[in-house]
């Protein structure tokens, strides 16, 4: 039996103080952390429950939204202002997990959920540099259907599993953080790290840093947005490839675009090159495929997931086509 303490934080300051204990972890809905503890991938000595911290969804002075980190995924997806102003976010959240899990899962926990690479979970016999730095990576030569095609390294080819984070990356969301040293903000696109030679360091968070909220800026383009997830089954399956996109047309020209990809990298992948390729061009299939090609030019698939490059290309083009038809 592994002993641990459980306490419930009264507020952010209390949570940070309690998390100062050695080997402490914040506990959101527990839908990922508890599984990782069962598999002994994570072995915290203290759990600090942060579900009693603010989880409201409130309008900001610039017309955006501020979502408390303890907001449950279901509450975010169902919120009328999220549904009308940021439909890609609602669609991304409901594409993930199951209703029961979304009822438990918090925004803070969703951001920091860990990869679903099977070798990462297999503490009995698999080598994993993310779990044990320097051990090696069995996924590179193993079952890598779900693994990264962009931004991977010889040390790690795992992907980030969150659907919600893909939409947040496309929406230029900002993550609010608090620690014993003060408060700061980080763009969602900069929160997660690519693996390099330290795949065990997954985010730019400092030890003990608490996520207090996620801010969605005012984004008129996001009203016309969507999320599409391609997976092996229609529920309880993580993305092979997913696309979050928003499009703004000015007559027969693409005035602006936001695009992010999921299931392709260790972080939600903002498709900056695709966006750049789209702006100022006619909204045709040719343009959409050129944008996808620009983004995927540096894709390095593995033996088990070469199909993902074409899947990402075609999914991106199809989503942009769907958005174009919605405008006309
Ligand atoms: C069967 C199954 C299927 C799933 N399918 C999908 C899917 O298709 N798509 C998808 O996106 N997700 C899926 N998930 C994952 C699910 O979305 C995550 O488990 C969930 O979002 C995690 O949120 P949580 O609040 O339960 O986090 P927890 O498990 O409580 O915590 C996760 C991590 O976040 C940290 N943490 C929590 N809150 C904070 C905070 N405020 N500040 C700092 N650190 C914090 C914890 O310490 C821990 O490291 C699935 C999960 C299961 C079990």
pLDDT in tens, 152-203: 999 999 999 999 999 999 999 999 999 999 999 999 999 999 999 999 999 9
Atom of ligand 1 minimally distant from the CA of 34:
29
Residue 246's SS3 state is strand
- Residues 221-278 have pLDDT tens digits of 999 999 999 999 988 899 999 999 999 999 999 999 999 999 999 999 999 999 999 9
Q: Where are the domains of the chain?
A: 5-51, 222-327
Region 87-114: mean pLDDT is 98
pLDDT, position 328 = 57
Q: What is the mean pLDDT of the chain?
A: 97
How far is Cα 212 from Cα 41, in angstroms, rounded to an integer? Answer: 25
CA distance 301 to 310: 11
Ligand 1 binding pocket (C-beta < 6 A) is 25-33, 35, 50, 69, 96-97, 101, 104-106, 108-110, 112-113, 161-164, 210-211, 236, 238
Pairing verdict, β 241-250 and 225-230? antiparallel
Chain mean position to CA 205? 15
Q: Is residue 37 pLDDT above 80, yes or no?
A: yes
222-327 has CATH 3.20.20.70 classification = no
Q: Which two tokens stand for residue 49?
A: 């429950």
pLDDT at residue 71, rounded to an integer: 99
5-51: CATH topology is 3.30.43
């Amino acid at each position: 039996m592994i002993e641990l303490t459980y306490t419930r934080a009264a507020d952010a300051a209390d949570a940070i103080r309690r998390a100062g204990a050695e080997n402490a972890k914040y506990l959101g809905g527990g839908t990922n952390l508890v599984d990782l503890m069962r598999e002994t991938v994570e072995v915290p000595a203290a759990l600090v429950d942060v579900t009693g911290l603010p989880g409201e969804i409130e309008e900001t002075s610039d017309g955006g939204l501020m979502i408390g980190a303890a907001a449950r995924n279901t509450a975010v997806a169902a919120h009328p202002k999220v549904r009308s102003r940021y439909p890609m976010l609602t669609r991304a959240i409901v594409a993930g997990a199951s209703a029961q899990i979304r009822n438990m899962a918090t925004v803070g926990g969703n951001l920091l959920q860990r990869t679903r690479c099977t070798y990462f979970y297999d503490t009995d016999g698999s080598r994993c540099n993310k779990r044990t730095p320097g051990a090696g990576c069995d996924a590179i030569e193993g079952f890598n259907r779900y693994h990264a095609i962009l931004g991977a390294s010889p040390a790690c080819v795992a992907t980030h599993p969150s659907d919600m984070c893909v939409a947040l990356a496309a929406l230029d969301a900002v993550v609010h953080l608090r620690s014993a040293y003060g408060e700061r903000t980080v763009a969602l696109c900069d929160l997660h790290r690519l693996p390099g030679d330290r795949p065990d360091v997954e985010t730019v968070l400092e030890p003990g840093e608490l996520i207090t909220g996620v801010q969605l800026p005012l984004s008129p383009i996001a009203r016309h947005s969507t999320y599409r997830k391609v997976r092996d089954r229609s529920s309880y399956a993580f993305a092979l490839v997913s696309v979050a996109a928003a499009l703004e047309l000015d007559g027969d020209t693409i005035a602006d675009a936001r695009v992010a990809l999921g299931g392709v990298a260790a972080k939600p992948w903002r498709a900056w090159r695709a966006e750049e390729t789209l702006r100022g061009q006619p909204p045709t299939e040719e343009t959409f495929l050129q944008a996808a090609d620009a983004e995927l030019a540096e894709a390095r698939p593995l033996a088990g997931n070469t199909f993902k490059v074409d899947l990402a290309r075609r999914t991106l083009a199809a989503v942009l086509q769907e958005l174009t038809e919605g405008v006309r």
